[in-house]
A = this chain, B = another copy of it.
Amino acid sequence: MSEKNPVLSGSKLDQLCVNTIRTLSMDGVEAANSGHPGMPMGMADVAFVLWTKFLKHNPANPKWADRDRFILSAGHGSMLLYSLLHLTGYDLPLKELKNFRQLHSLTPGHPEFGLTPGVETTTGPLGQGFATGVGMAMAEAFLAAKFNASKTGLVDHYTYAIVSDGDLMEGISHEAASMAGHMELGKMIYLYDSNNISIDGSTDLAFTDDSRKRFEAYGWHVTEIDGHNHNEIEKAINEAKGETERPSLVICRTHIGFGSPNKQDSEASHGAPLGADEIRLTKQKLGVDPDKTFHVPDEVYTHFRKALENGAEAEKRWNSVVDEFRKSNPDEADLFDTFVNRKLPDDLSDRLPLFEPDEKGDATRNTSHTAINAIADAVPQFFGGSADLTGSTKTFMDGKGVFGPEDYTGRNVHFGVREHGMGAALNGIALHGGLIPFGATFLIFSDYCRPAIRIAALSNIPSTFVFTHDSIGLGEDGPTHQSIEQLPALRAMPNLHVFRPADANETAWAWKAAVERTDGPSLLALTRQKLPTYDRPGYAAASNTEKGAYTLLDAPSGKPELLLMATGSEVEIIMEAARELHKKGVEARVVSMPCCELFEKQPQSYRDTILPPDVKARVSIEASATLGWERYVGDGGTAIGINRFGESAPYLEVYEELGLTKERVIEESLTLLKQA
């Protein structure tokens, strides 16, 4: 650790630039009366060197495909990022910094992708940014391997992140770092703000890892520097860039709240405004005018905004590379466009598998496998894998290779037993652009990656989650592996499309919807057990999956007196129940509801056609907790489900034991009709 009051390094202008980051950050937090000044002040030197000497970006076009990615994984230090974006010339005026943490500002408490130009991913929940960066670097490695052979210089950028003690304590950092080391993602450069302070006080209270040794164990290249010494920072980043086979961790020893006479090196500067008096003292100590707030000297703007010119030039150079590519290799260039611009074939629906009616049918994880392979053939940027459950989740794309140092153009990924790291990596892959990612595990383990699913939902990221073994239908593995509360828990999350297809063809259409979606994540809950494939010329078309819910089999008269509703594997139960009820003269309608969220988006008129408001006798059945089904069955209806944990036994016995049977549906239906 450098001494308590280190000598300023770098030129005077450099110092003024660095201190401007500090004062903007202090002032922003003070104006909001809320926020985290300490980290931006501590990491201002590192950020300055990175952003002025290394970062390849064009503030005028934050979407330029070959830009370096920068992630502030320690998202609570958001004023650092907002300061950098403003200073380097992104469309983020000073008034937005003054409006830090205010309603409808572009500067929320934690950086949000899609809201603020230049923010590459939403951070704040610790560890997410760290792991999202791995996905970005994976995408870069894939695209570079795929296209640079045809034309050098098409894809050549780094993934930088600033990470914190908190990021490194989170479990997801282990999964992500281990994955990145294994994959030899040499173009990841992570700058670790090692300031020895967390919210509770000294990190020694809880955190005494040897982080260097830990990351070396993952196969990373690790260096350690004084995070206030510009020469050391520059040297370390250069060295990291020179290391092509290992991700780099630069441990930057810093002083949190740098410059604050009374709060530097203390948790007092971590998560609260410094206070007007302390800000005065700090500005005085830093040698800037204590009477000015949100002040940016002209020479500071001039220096930082070279980024605009440099960025425009860099992008121009890249555009000419692309232009040459288009001329020399138009087919490959078209393919490059397909990747970079997320183009899908016009005939995607036609290329989906069409499954013939089959009473015995197949597990939807199997029909999903067929769909995945069809999509993989039609969509070259379709890319994904599983968390060590490739055989069980049936997600292998035949003949598409395995992604890794031996072949970065492989499209199958072995994520390892790392559900959370996988989820965040998917987000990073999707955010990077160029690939359309999916990741698979059992539905029960959605709990292990829930925070990453939430980031996707919050940030409109089209990651697709394939969750098989989606209920008690997995049988013998028992209650630890049988999802009960996962479906309602996932449906409660805004902007997540939860598909639970009832047969092979609904599965194919669910996949189509997932791949075509661009404004948020999708999830497919799939069975281990076989389900019949319905006779689609006989019943309603599976393309209705896109409407979320539809009448699969209507009451014989077309005027239902009873609505039977189900999703996924339980549609088979209501189909069988309906056939028996029809024989008894009951006008029962079967409604398959593969995606409640899409159904809710339909016009009221459509919804009333499917679930006529005057039909009050309604029975739903789902092998899941019933929470939420009341909105469809209403006061007059019955929701059959499982409001307890499961049982370890062959699955048909578990269904019987927990009362998820055709007989129960018939009984509940007749009871309701009698009451009516």
Contact = CB atoms under 8 A, between A and B. Distances in A.
Interface of A: 32, 34-35, 75, 101-105, 108-110, 112, 122-126, 165-166, 169-175, 178-179, 181-182, 198-200, 205-214, 216-219, 271, 386, 388-392, 402, 414-418, 420-421, 444-445, 447-448, 450-451, 454, 457-458, 475-481, 484-485, 488-495, 625, 627-628, 630-631, 634-636, 643-645, 647-650, 653-654, 657
Contacts of A417: 126, 165-166, 169-170, 198, 206-207
B206 A414 contact: yes
A489 B493 CA distance: 8
A179 B208 contact: no
A103 B478 contact: no
A104 to B, nearest CB: 8
A97 to B, nearest CB: 14
A112 B645 CA distance: 12
A477 B107 CA distance: 11
B217 A124 contact: no
A116 to B, nearest CB: 11
Nearest to A630: B630
Nearest to A493: B485
A200 B112 contact: no
B481 A628 contact: no
A532 to B, nearest CB: 23
Contact of A488 (B35, B173, B198, B628): B628
Contact of A175 (B110, B170, B476): B170
Q: Which 4 A-B pairs have the closest CB atoms?
A: A171-B171, A174-B174, A206-B416, A108-B648
Contacts of A488: 488-489, 492, 627-628
Contacts of A420: 171
A101 B651 CA distance: 11
Contact of A213 (B213, B475, B480, B492): B213
12 contacts: A101-B476, A112-B479, A112-B480, A124-B481, A171-B175, A179-B206, A182-B207, A182-B208, A206-B414, A209-B217, A214-B217, A447-B454
A469 to B, nearest CB: 12
A105 to B, nearest CB: 8
Contacts of A478: 101, 108-110, 112, 124
Nearest to A164: B417
Nearest to A653: B103
A245 B182 CA distance: 32
Given A169-B418, A171-B175, A635-B636, 13 more contacts: A75-B480, A103-B649, A110-B481, A181-B209, A182-B207, A199-B390, A207-B416, A209-B217, A209-B218, A213-B213, A213-B216, A484-B493, A493-B625
A202 to B, nearest CB: 10
B485 A102 contact: no
Contacts of A112: 478-480
Contacts of A451: 445, 447-448
Contact of A416 (B169, B175, B644): B169
A494 B103 contact: no
A81 to B, nearest CB: 14
Contact of A108 (B169, B217, B479): B479
Contacts of A103: 647-650, 653-654, 657
Contacts of A418: 169-171, 206
A353 to B, nearest CB: 25
B627 A388 contact: no
Given A388-B200, A458-B480, A34 B475 contact: yes
A648 B110 contact: yes
Contacts of A212: 217
A206 B410 CA distance: 14
Nearest to A184: B208
A534 B389 CA distance: 53
Contacts of A75: 480
B209 A178 contact: yes
Given A199-B392, A447-B454, A649-B101, A217 B206 contact: no
Nearest to A636: B635
B494 A643 contact: yes
A673 to B, nearest CB: 18
Contacts of A181: 208-209
A647 B106 CA distance: 11
Contacts of A208: 181-182, 219
Contacts of A179: 206
Contact of A200 (B125, B389, B447): B389
A328 B211 CA distance: 48
A267 to B, nearest CB: 8
A414 B653 CA distance: 46
A491 B171 CA distance: 25
A552 to B, nearest CB: 24
